[in-house]
Structure 1
Amino acid sequence: MSHSERPGSPRRDELLERAYRYALAHGLAELSLRPLAAAIGSSPRVLLFLFGSKDQLIRALLGRARADELAALRQAREAGGAGDFAAAVRATWGWLVDPAHRPMLVLWVQAYARSLGEPDGPWAGFARQTVEDWLGLLADIDGGAAGGDPALGLAVLRGALLDLLATGDAERATAVVERYLRLVAAAG
């Protein structure tokens, strides 16, 4: 087992959770070990020992963010109705548009963009994996094949989300999602 593949420990898990909270507040784009370590009650040396490298720490943070995002989206989808594509998309959008989730979504956009621009760094594969994650969630809806195209649903949700994050105009972005759902219902 290499240094960077060190299994979890209670201290590592605790610091990962603190680092994740820090990343939600400050982003990952310009993450520096010294300020991070000071903010979470550690030292750069301890972080490097526990995570192996800054890149491995970033990978762990991205994994933590994806797990959080997927769990929340799964819960929103199921609250909307696992067999009703429109209800599940609407519930997912309801979660995405909630201002309480903005820090996680901004972090997601930062990681997504870095993944596209730095395909060999710690961000490698993040964008592709999140597309697969979200497509999987939408395709799992029983009515997805008959009532809506998961790839089109993903494109609408992602586009509306990017617009929302850029403009803060929840009303307009929600209207776009609702217009899409009316089109799905009319085509079904």
Structure 2
Amino acid sequence: MTTTKPAPSARETELLELAYAYSLTHGLADLSLRPLATAIGSSPRVLLFLFGSKDGLIRALLTRARSDELVLLQKITSQYAEPPGLDVVARELWTWLAAEERRPLMKLWVEAYGRSLVAPDGPWSDFARSTVEDWLDLFKSVQPGKDTKAAQARRTGVLAVLRGGLLDLLATGDTARVTAAVLRALPVDNSPAKSTPADRLS
């Protein structure tokens, strides 16, 4: 018999948001409950009560980070009346990823991605695979001939270009150089968007 986890309390939600903001600055690899609790106006005892363990808190923070990613992916596609094509979406996505204000989130994502590869049995488990699937699902939804092997290879290539560019950008901060390289490497979609975005990504 399975049980449904009760909805988080207002206090749990508040502390998770505060802890998430803290993790964007301090990362997760060396997360210590005491300084975190002090920074967000709580205590280690309360955090352990709400999240079960330090690993439970990390899992909640990773889920919170992934939710930001999913909101982004949905926002990109929802601004078009019709599927805009892989080329358009890839460029929209890079614009969002490369924005200066998103560096903390992107660094947290890279940290979690790497940790999930080297510690697959820890709280990071499945993070890397899940994010790959999220992005590939988005690309598939806007791609002509989405079920062919060629289409699958193309969206995988686009993902590789974007993520490789992101790593370079985070390492060097050279937005102009990396953006030029990413846009040059992205394949051109021969089926241009049939509509204009109603809103630009904020």
- Using the size of structure 1 for normalisation, the TM-score is 0.89
CA RMSD, 1 decimal: 2.4
Q: Which structure would you say has the larger RCO, counting Cα contacts within 8 Å and 6 or more residues apart?
A: 2
**Mapping of 1:36-185 within 5 angstroms?**
36-79=36-79, 82-143=83-144, 145=146, 149-181=154-186, 183-185=187-189
Write the distance in 1 (CA, Å) between the matches of 2:189 and 2:70.
Answer: 26
In the alignment, structure 1 segments of 5+ residues that lack a partner are: none
CA 1:158 to 1:165, structure 2 compared with 1: closer, same or farther past 3 Å?
A: same
What is the identity, as a one-letter code, of the residue corresponding to 1:17?
E
What is the identity, as a one-letter code, of the residue corresponding to 1:123?
W
Partner SS for 1:29: coil
Q: Is contact 1:77-1:89 (8 Å) kept? A: no
Shift of 1:144: 6.9
Write the distance in 2 (CA, Å) between the matches of 1:144 and 1:23.
Answer: 40
Q: Is contact 1:97-1:170 (8 Å) kept? A: yes
In the alignment, structure 2 segments of 5+ residues that lack a partner are: 193-202
Q: Which moved further from structure 2: 41-50 or 70-79?
A: 70-79
Post-superposition Cα deviations, 1:25-49, rounded to whole Å, max 9, x if no partner, equal 1111110000000000000000000
Post-superposition Cα deviations, 1:142-170, rounded to whole Å, max 9, x if no partner, equal 44739962111111111111111111111
CA 1:9 to 1:62, structure 2 compared with 1: closer, same or farther past 3 Å?
A: same
Post-superposition Cα deviations, 1:83-134, rounded to whole Å, max 9, x if no partner, equal 2221111110000000111110000000011111101000011111111111
Aligned to 1:18: 18
Shift of 1:6: 5.7
Shift of 1:78: 4.3
